[in-house]
Amino acid sequence: MQPSRNVAVGERRAVPRQRVTYRLDVTTAQGDNGCLLDLSTTGLRVRFKKELDVAAIHAIRIDFPRWLELGAGLDVSGRFVWVRAGSAGAVEAGFAFDELSRKVESVLEVLVQRLSDALVEDRADPE
């Protein structure tokens, strides 16, 4: 008898990530800017145009566009858990959040839901 699986094959995360198809900027405390690629309530994946000293970064800011109606942005603390070199000197990196306040976690949940809803709407609109 084979054990049942509740998680999709290949998915190792306890919380699935929402792909980001709209431009959402991420800024480090050192002033480096990146582009958010995907997001969950436990972490995110971001692309930076240049290599960073990720070991020195313990907080980032996610800037929100006005259409999300969530305020200007969200500051989160955590650490980079992996880094991969990309093309033309760019890097992609995974950032795991430290323990979040209930308020920050709630904002992240709403953000993930709004990004998911927007993606569904865009796929349904053939324009």
- The answer to whether residue 34 is domain-embedded is yes
- The answer to whether residue 13 is domain-embedded is no
Give the angle subtended at the CA of 11 by the CAs of 125 and 42, to the nearest 5°: 80
Structural domain that includes position 66: 18-124
- The answer to whether residue 1 is domain-embedded is no
- The answer to whether residue 2 is domain-embedded is no
Provide the domain count of the chain: 1
Other CB atoms within 10 A of residue 81 CB? 11
CB 39 within 8 A of CB 115: yes
Q: What is the CATH number of the domain that holds 86?
A: 2.40.10.220
pTM exceeds 0.85 for this model:
no
Query: 52-89 pLDDT, tens per residue?
Result: 888 888 999 999 999 888 999 999 999 999 999 988 88
Query: 1-37 pLDDT, tens per residue?
Result: 443 333 344 456 577 888 898 889 999 988 999 999 9
